């Protein structure tokens, strides 16, 4: 099994990739590049929209538009229209920003936060605390905080078919599993999920139809790790990039795994010698994914 380059996107921080089955298109963001993108799975019909702010995540809406995480606001957006602010999860923590965001099985937008690690020009800013949390935002703009504000860098928001929720703290190099109360929209009883692996740090993830979690190993991990439902490592797939960031299953049969990547903080010398950094990749892992949820 080998990964192929679909698009030399040169994303600074490609993230939050999702498959739109209605249009047969991939949708994802470049956080630091302040852009949203949409593309056919073969790399054709690549569309790019500029955002007014760092755009940290994107999800699909039931009415055909998108729900978007910006630096501090969650907004509604119609692929080329204006950004209409819906909610601000943390008005009282001005030095935090949003990071990973995914529409949950309840139709709400679940989003994680972190201490802001970006200067206004997109250069890296030192992080000094673990002040992130996970929030749930409904279509009427109501915000619920689901965890304590003690997460370093929130990544991975995934749900299992047996009512568990999985999330990663990249800074702590840990993935946790929670009990998920679908009716109440709450999570509880966090505990360590992942068997340790000496390959980078955990970033974005997606589930397959066998109940396994595919996790991108960022910061030099150069791979995807597939975790079995018990948290053991089922397999490791090498990638031609050092910072894979987010993944989703797409294609007509949901049998192609697409992976975004980043170029953030890499030197000019490294990028000249590793020209695929920031690209979009695909592979056929022999399993299928599950359809994306829609907001609203």
Say if residue 2's pLDDT is above 90.
Answer: no
pLDDT tens for each residue of 223-258: 999 999 999 999 999 999 999 999 999 999 999 999
Q: Starting at the edge strand that comes first in sequence, how are the strands of the sheet with 4-7 ordered?
A: 4-7, 280-283, 256-261, 244-250
How many distinct structural domains can be found in the chain?
1
Say if residue 111's pLDDT is above 90.
Answer: yes
**Structure token pair of residue 282:** 């695909």
pLDDT tens for each residue of 202-220: 999 999 999 999 999 999 9
CA atoms of 179 and 199, how far apart (whole Å)? 27
- pLDDT band (50, 70, 90) for residue 69: very high
Please give the average per-residue pLDDT across 56-61, as a whole number.
98
Please give the average per-residue pLDDT across 114-124, as a whole number.
96
Q: What integer pLDDT is reported at residue 1 of this predicted model?
A: 73
Strands 96-103 and 84-87: unpaired
- pLDDT band (50, 70, 90) for residue 64: very high
Please give the average per-residue pLDDT across 37-45, as a whole number.
97
Please give the average per-residue pLDDT across 31-56, as a whole number.
97
Say if residue 11's pLDDT is above 90.
Answer: yes
- pLDDT band (50, 70, 90) for residue 146: very high
Nearest to 159 by CA among 143, 146, 172: 146
What is the percentage of the chain residues whose pLDDT exceeds 70?
100
CA atoms of 66 and 243, how far apart (whole Å)? 26
- CB contact set of 137 (below 8 Å; sequence gap of 6+): 74, 86, 87, 89, 108, 109, 110, 111, 143, 144
Task: Give residue 24's Cα distance to chain centre.
Answer: 19
Say if residue 164's pLDDT is above 90.
Answer: yes
Strands 186-192 and 201-207: unpaired
Q: What integer pLDDT is reported at residue 57 of this predicted model?
A: 98
Please give the average per-residue pLDDT across 51-80, as a whole number.
97
CA atoms of 93 and 227, how far apart (whole Å)? 34
Please give the average per-residue pLDDT across 142-157, as a whole number.
97
CA atoms of 239 and 262, how far apart (whole Å)? 13
CATH of the domain at 276: 2.120.10.30
Range of the domain at 46: 4-295
Say if residue 48's pLDDT is above 80.
Answer: yes
For the chain, the average pLDDT equals 97
């Amino acid at each position: 099994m080998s990964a192929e380059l679909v698009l030399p996107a040169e994303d600074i921080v490609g993230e939050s990739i999702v498959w739109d089955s209605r249009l047969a298109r991939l949708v994802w963001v470049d956080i630091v590049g302040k852009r949203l993108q949409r593309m056919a799975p073969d790399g054709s019909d690549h569309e790019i929209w500029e955002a007014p702010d760092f755009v940290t995540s994107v999800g699909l809406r039931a009415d055909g538009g998108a729900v978007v995480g910006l630096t501090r606001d969650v907004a509604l957006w119609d692929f080329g229209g204006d950004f209409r602010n819906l909610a601000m999860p943390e008005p009282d923590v001005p030095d935090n920003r949003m990071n990973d965001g995914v529409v949950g099985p309840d139709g709400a937008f679940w989003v994680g936060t972190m201490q802001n690690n970006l200067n206004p020009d997109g250069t890296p800013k030192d992080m000094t605390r673990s002040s992130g949390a996970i929030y749930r935002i409904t279509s009427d703009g109501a915000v619920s905080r689901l965890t304590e504000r003690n997460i370093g860098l929130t990544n991975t928001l995934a749900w299992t078919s047996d009512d568990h929720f999985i999330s990663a703290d990249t800074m702590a190099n840990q993935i946790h599993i929670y009990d998920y109360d679908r009716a109440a929209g709450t999570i509880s009883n966090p505990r360590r999920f992942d068997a340790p692996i000496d390959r980078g740090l955990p970033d974005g993830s997606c589930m397959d139809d066998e109940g396994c979690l595919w996790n991108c190993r960022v910061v030099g991990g150069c791979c995807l790790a597939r975790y079995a439902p018990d948290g053991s490592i089922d397999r490791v797939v090498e990638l031609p990039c050092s910072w894979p960031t987010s993944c989703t299953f797409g294609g007509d049969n949901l049998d192609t795994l697409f992976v975004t990547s980043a170029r953030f903080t890499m030197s000019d010398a490294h990028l000249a010698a590793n020209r695929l950094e920031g690209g979009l990749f695909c592979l056929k892992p022999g399993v299928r994914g599950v359809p994306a949820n829609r907001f609203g």
